[in-house]
Structures are given as structure tokens and as C-alpha cells.
Chain A
């Protein structure tokens, strides 16, 4: 297995792109990544693109071929990956394996989602395809409902407070305000969150990530060739993935995501680190409770102490373990297929020391956590600026 490095990144603004389609978003991020890597398009041998539901969101399927065509890269092979909200990180994993296997020398890995063509109701119904359709969605469960169940149980088992959940949204908005590509750049307060409309008790509107459009791309090459392209290659030290039951009710516990625990355990082993070594993390905060549970599952704190971790400010920029310096899914936004790659783009910026006002000092190890559905798929990537 070869070591793999990221030598280029590109990302669009996340938000409501009323005047751009799925192709334009993908091309914009792709071109930026190619420019950032300083390569020519002809060097790319394979495209892997994460996309959750182009078909339902925009009517466009066959996303792999669409990407090769739109990017002007025919006839190279192109693959679409789909694992609901983890489609992006799955693309990275496939691209990583393609380089690691020795079969490819340069792979463009991206994620794209165009969500705002539909009404909120239609988007909610489309996203519900990521849960167990027969046993959950058909009975009226939606994702806010799924995560509300997890939040309620966490509050019951560990005395977690709604205010603590709100603090996660507050932190992520504070970070998002410093990120030029974030959908929301306004700071909010705990009161704002608690006074916002109730979506699924105990989750309020400002506990939930928004509906947005966006795309992100990274360029992968074998680590041994990385210095040819850049002085600051970022190395993929671990790429792992785990699966779990589609339905929440089939799980042993509502207050942890076992796929996260299984994937991260392997990832720490692969990277030869522990949770304590992580300097900066991008975690999947589709709802505030998801970030809180991730703290515990990733080992940033003990089980049940996620509430305390945020309350003590330990996941703020500049604190013990800065989480979601990008603004996270909450403020930066969550165009689902793009999210896994957008997390990587932020970590690369941090590890290159190019994150501007969001920069975490002396960051050498970053962790990306991307979940599909309520945790039926989880991908973990660990990046480092040291080989």
C-alpha cells in the first residue's frame, strides 16, 4: 500500500445558489482544486464524486459521467459514491484506495449537492431516504425526529441540557462567521437557539443544519510524488469506514453511534495515534446532538460528558480540541454529498497554516468524521502535515 497525499483543494461558497446547477458547482470546485494543485487536467486519471441524491434533488443521475463530461476530462473513468450524508468521505476513501493500491497516480475526489431546487418538505422526504425507508420513514419519522430521539435519550441518561446543545450551534456560528465560504456568517446566542421555532422537540431550528448547495474537490497523488506539486502536502494517515443498522431502533444504544466508535478505533490504530493527539477536528454536526455524541464516540471525552466538554469551552478554537473551526454543518452548511470533502478542505487549510482568522496554532493532526443517515455509515479520515 502506498501512502497518499492531498496536493490541491477547491470549494464553492456554500449557500443558496439560485443561479447555478449541479454541474456548475462541481466544475467550480474542481477547477479551483486543479489550480490549487498546479496540475493540468490531463494528469487526472480517475474521478470519484460523492453525491447523495442528484436524482431526487435535481433529476440528474449518472453523476460520475456527468462530472467527467462537465470537467472536460473524458474519456477517463469516473465513479459516483453514495452513502447518504457520508457520500463525500466515501469518495475520498475510494480515491485513497485507488492511489494506495498503486493503480492510479492522480485522482480528483469531489462531493456535490444541489438541494435548493426543492421545497423544504421535498428535501426532508429526500433525506429520509437515508434512513430505513420501510421501517422508519414510512411511519413518518424524519431526520430531525431521529436526532431528537437521540437527544432526548441523551438528556435522560446523562442529564445533558438543551442549553449545552445550543452552545454547539453558538460555537459553530462563531466559527462560521470567520469562514468566507460559510452559508451563515452571523453569530447567535444560546437564547436565539432556544427561542427559535421547535422543529422536533428538543431540537430547535438553530440546532439543525440548513438546506444548501455546494461542492468541494481535493486532488490526491502518491505521497512520494507530492512534493513535486506543493511544499505543503497533507498526508492521509488513516481512512476507515464502518457500517451499522439502517434503523435507529435496531441499535443497542440511542446515545452512541457504534459505526463511529468502530471506524475511529481502526483509524487511530492505522495512524498510530490516540484521541489526545488530534489537534483539530471536523465532525458531523447535522444536528447539535450529533456533534455532542461525536465528542464521546471519538474519545474527546468520556461517555456522557459531551455536555460538559462544550460547556467548558474545550472544543472552541484555541482550546483543548477545536471542533468544526469551519463552522461545521450548522453554519458552514451541509450540502450533503459535499460535506465529507468540505471537512477535508478545512483540515487541509488548518494543517497548511492557511486558515486565516480560524487558524489553530501548531496543528499537525486533523480528524474528519462524516456520518451517513443516523450512523449506518461512518467514515473517518486522519490527516497530517507530517508524512
Chain B
């Protein structure tokens, strides 16, 4: 039985702050930052992980053209669930009209909880427990004021409905690579995550992204030449391009997925949005290899083949580029207010 994506949708908030405006405030080197990130998407005061997940899901449902009640699982991957205890997934399921006959749960694995949600939904469908499942990656990522992460930590969501009929991108195979690598973390009760500086590079991101990608290639007995596009987790502009070059992948095959310079790193939404950007342009018959990365650390790799139905179905929703270009610039003060970085006295 073929399993794959039957509908996808993203949501990117309209507000943008330029990295150079953040750099100016903290006296950082604007030139150096330019190669890492350009501007990032900021959720407004009335937006959060739940509202963005709902918006992205409604787009996915629109594309899939199914009754939301047919969705039997809603999994939401995020590291910024609004509640420590009380699921995001149940609010989303209710809001999109999928309740009550379904299972729902929240997931967390730094930046790769979204693809972890994919895997679980796919597994339930493959086991024939459910017909349709919704897997979402959504985050309003937080960076400590003045920290390197502040230049990239952004807001956005990507939602994928998986099923076995009306497939637009059929799953070929998947593979994961996980180790205990403490490169980035946030402890209970802390407002902002911490990270291991340069340790987040070679031992964390590159080791996992490259190992998972190679693992999938080996498992499927394919080479990089068998794929038309690659989507790698993009914490900044440099990392996915460097990972691609380390694997010998032509830049032309990775650049179409890159959106980090325009919207920042949307954490759990990162790879779901990057993949959506490729799905917006991919042609039937083309193959895409997707590898996420979550600190802590792990990578999930997937290979998909694009199906004929994508051509008509994707006309029903807003493309990633439309979200990217629909923007309003804000200054640091407004950003600080929106992201609740201003602590009000009581």
C-alpha cells in the first residue's frame, strides 16, 4: 500500500525583523551575520504555536480536499507548546473540526519534532490503524536577547496530511539517526534555550544530517544522483549548503528549499516549510530527499517521489513564496513587545 502526502500547507507570520537591526542593537558584526541569516519571521501578539498550527493545517486540509473528521490522528511537534501540561494537539484538532474521534498528542525534539510527527502518522497509516493523519511542526522559537540564536529563532508552521489515496508525494523510505549529543537545550522553567557554541556544528548538525542522509541512501540503494531536490534542516544559510557540499550535492538541488534567509529558523516548522517550498515547484516523477535535524540530537531522512496529482492540488493553496513575500517590517522594540521580551512590573 502506497503512503504519502495528500495535502500540505504552511503558515508564516507577516512580521519580519532584519538581522542587521538586531545586530545594531547588540553591537555585533553585521557583515558576518549577513552570510548566516537575512531576516526572520516574528509571530504577532495574538499568534502562537497553536494558532500557526491551525492556519497551516487549514491550508493542508484545503489542498487534501478531505473532510477534517476523516483525520484520525493529530500530532504536533514543537519546542514552544504554549502549555507545559495541556496538549497543543487537542486544541488544534478541535479548531480544525477533527474532534472527537481521533488520537492527538504533542511531540518535542528541538527542531525535528515536526518530522518525528510525520513518522508516527506514517506508521499508523502503514499499520492500517488509520486512513488519514495530520502531522504538524510549529514553533515560536525563542532566542535570548543578545544571544546568537536571536538572529535566527523565528516563527512558522508546516502541516502535512498523510494518507494512501490522492497522494501528491509518495513516501519511498525513511531512516533515522539519533545520539545523545547535548548541543542545545532548555531546562524546565527557563525562558530561553542554551547552546554549546561551535559544538553545535560538526559533532551535532553535520554528523547527524550527513549520517542520516547517507543511511537512507544506503538503505534505499540509491545515490545523490537519483534525487532532483534535497531539503536539509536550515538553522542558518551556511549549514545546509555546507552539508550538501560535504555530500557532493550540486548547489542547484539544495537552494530551492532554502528559505532561512527570508524567514529565519522556524525550528519544528523548518523542514516542513523547506519541503513545502520544493513541493510548490517539483514536477511529477521527481524525487526529493528530506533530512531534518533536532538538537539533542537526531536526524530523520525521508525519500519521496512526486505524483501527478500535485499539479492540480497545489493550485488550491498559498505557496510558500507568497507567505514569504507578504511581510511587514518591525523594529526591535516592537519585536521585543511581540515576543514578550519586555518584562512588565507588577
Q: Report whether chain A binds chain B.
A: yes
Total B residues in contact with A, Cβ cutoff 8 Å? 9
B199 near A18 with CB under 8 A, answer: yes
Residues of A within 8 A of B203 (CB): 18-19
A197 near B202 with CB under 8 A, answer: no
How far in angstroms is the closest Cβ of chain A from B44?
Answer: 33
Q: Choose among A16, A19, A119, A198 the residue that contacts B29 (Cβ–Cβ < 8 A).
A: A198
A120: nearest chain-B partner, CB-CB: B197
How far in angstroms is the closest Cβ of chain A from B319?
Answer: 37
B29 near A116 with CB under 8 A, answer: no
Chain A, interface SS category: loop
B199 near A116 with CB under 8 A, answer: yes
Interface residues in A116-134 by Cβ distance below 8 A to B read 116, 119-120
Q: Choose among A18, A120, A197 the residue that contacts B31 (Cβ–Cβ < 8 A).
A: A197
**Of B197, B202, B203, which is in contact with the most chain A CB atoms at under 10 Å from its CB?**
B197
Q: 1/0 per residue B185-202: CB within 8 Å of A?
A: 000000000001111001
Residues of A within 8 A of B29 (CB): 197-198
Residues of A within 8 A of B197 (CB): 119-120
Q: CA of A19 to CA of B196 in the docked complex: distance in angstroms?
A: 14
Interface residues in A164-199 by Cβ distance below 8 A to B read 195, 197-198
Q: Cβ of B315 < 8 Å from any Cβ of A?
A: no
How far in angstroms is the closest Cβ of chain B from A47?
Answer: 31
Interface residues in A23-52 by Cβ distance below 8 A to B read none
Q: CA of A119 to CA of B200 in the docked complex: distance in angstroms?
A: 11
How far in angstroms is the closest Cβ of chain B from A125?
Answer: 14
B196: nearest chain-A partner, CB-CB: A119
B202 near A16 with CB under 8 A, answer: yes
Q: CA of A315 to CA of B320 in the docked complex: distance in angstroms?
A: 56
Q: CA of A18 to CA of B202 in the docked complex: distance in angstroms?
A: 9
How far in angstroms is the closest Cβ of chain B from A83?
Answer: 28
Total A residues in contact with B, Cβ cutoff 8 Å? 9
Number of A-B contacts (CB under 8 A): 16
Interface residues in A191-235 by Cβ distance below 8 A to B read 195, 197-198
Q: 1/0 per residue B1-45: CB within 8 Å of A?
A: 000000000000000000000000000010110000000000000
How far in angstroms is the closest Cβ of chain B from A213?
Answer: 12
A16: nearest chain-B partner, CB-CB: B198
B183: nearest chain-A partner, CB-CB: A18
**Of A16, A18, A19, A197, which is in contact with the most chain B CB atoms at under 10 Å from its CB?**
A18
Q: CA of A195 to CA of B29 in the docked complex: distance in angstroms?
A: 11
Residues of B within 8 A of A197 (CB): 29, 31-32
How far in angstroms is the closest Cβ of chain B from A164?
Answer: 23
Chain B, interface SS category: helix
Residues of B within 8 A of A18 (CB): 199, 202-203
Q: CA of A195 to CA of B198 in the docked complex: distance in angstroms?
A: 21
How far in angstroms is the closest Cβ of chain A from B36?
Answer: 12
Q: CA of A334 to CA of B62 in the docked complex: distance in angstroms?
A: 59
Q: CA of A197 to CA of B196 in the docked complex: distance in angstroms?
A: 21
Q: CA of A119 to CA of B198 in the docked complex: distance in angstroms?
A: 8
Q: CA of A75 to CA of B197 in the docked complex: distance in angstroms?
A: 40
Q: CA of A16 to CA of B31 in the docked complex: distance in angstroms?
A: 25
Q: CA of A119 to CA of B196 in the docked complex: distance in angstroms?
A: 7
Residues of A within 8 A of B32 (CB): 197
Q: CA of A19 to CA of B204 in the docked complex: distance in angstroms?
A: 12
How far in angstroms is the closest Cβ of chain A from B302?
Answer: 28
B31 near A116 with CB under 8 A, answer: no
Residues of A within 8 A of B199 (CB): 18, 116
How far in angstroms is the closest Cβ of chain A from B199?
Answer: 6
Q: 1/0 per residue A1-29: CB within 8 Å of B?
A: 00000000000000010110000000000
Q: 1/0 per residue A87-120: CB within 8 Å of B?
A: 0000000000000000000000000000010011
B197: nearest chain-A partner, CB-CB: A119
Q: 1/0 per residue B124-154: CB within 8 Å of A?
A: 0000000000000000000000000000000
How far in angstroms is the closest Cβ of chain A from B93?
Answer: 41
How far in angstroms is the closest Cβ of chain B from A143?
Answer: 18
B207: nearest chain-A partner, CB-CB: A18
A199: nearest chain-B partner, CB-CB: B29
How far in angstroms is the closest Cβ of chain B from A325?
Answer: 27
How far in angstroms is the closest Cβ of chain B from A258?
Answer: 35
B199: nearest chain-A partner, CB-CB: A18
B203: nearest chain-A partner, CB-CB: A18
Q: CA of A116 to CA of B29 in the docked complex: distance in angstroms?
A: 23
Q: 1/0 per residue B151-194: CB within 8 Å of A?
A: 00000000000000000000000000000000000000000000
A210: nearest chain-B partner, CB-CB: B198
Residues of B within 8 A of A198 (CB): 29
Q: CA of A19 to CA of B180 in the docked complex: distance in angstroms?
A: 13
Q: CA of A110 to CA of B72 in the docked complex: distance in angstroms?
A: 65
A19: nearest chain-B partner, CB-CB: B203
Q: CA of A119 to CA of B144 in the docked complex: distance in angstroms?
A: 15
How far in angstroms is the closest Cβ of chain B from A281?
Answer: 31
Residues of B within 8 A of A16 (CB): 198, 202
How far in angstroms is the closest Cβ of chain B from A145?
Answer: 15
Q: CA of A198 to CA of B29 in the docked complex: distance in angstroms?
A: 8
Q: CA of A18 to CA of B31 in the docked complex: distance in angstroms?
A: 29
Q: CA of A70 to CA of B220 in the docked complex: distance in angstroms?
A: 45
Q: CA of A195 to CA of B202 in the docked complex: distance in angstroms?
A: 25
Residues of A within 8 A of B31 (CB): 195, 197
Q: CA of A119 to CA of B202 in the docked complex: distance in angstroms?
A: 16
How far in angstroms is the closest Cβ of chain A from B299?
Answer: 17
How far in angstroms is the closest Cβ of chain A from B26?
Answer: 13
Residues of B within 8 A of A116 (CB): 198-199
How far in angstroms is the closest Cβ of chain B from A195?
Answer: 8
How far in angstroms is the closest Cβ of chain A from B195?
Answer: 9
Q: CA of A18 to CA of B196 in the docked complex: distance in angstroms?
A: 11
Residues of A within 8 A of B198 (CB): 16, 116
Q: CA of A16 to CA of B198 in the docked complex: distance in angstroms?
A: 9
Q: CA of A292 to CA of B31 in the docked complex: distance in angstroms?
A: 28
How far in angstroms is the closest Cβ of chain A from B297?
Answer: 12
How far in angstroms is the closest Cβ of chain B from A328?
Answer: 21
How far in angstroms is the closest Cβ of chain A from B176?
Answer: 22
Given contacts A19-B203, A119-B196, A198-B29, 13 further A-B contacts (CB under 8 A): A16-B198, A16-B202, A18-B199, A18-B202, A18-B203, A116-B198, A116-B199, A119-B197, A120-B197, A195-B31, A197-B29, A197-B31, A197-B32
Name the 9 nearest CB pairs between A and B, nearest first.
Answer: A197-B29, A18-B203, A119-B197, A197-B32, A120-B197, A18-B199, A16-B198, A18-B202, A16-B202
A-B contact pairs, 15 of them (CB 8 A): A16-B198, A16-B202, A18-B199, A18-B202, A18-B203, A19-B203, A116-B198, A116-B199, A119-B197, A120-B197, A195-B31, A197-B29, A197-B31, A197-B32, A198-B29
B interface residues (Cβ-Cβ under 8 A, vs A): 29, 31-32, 196-199, 202-203
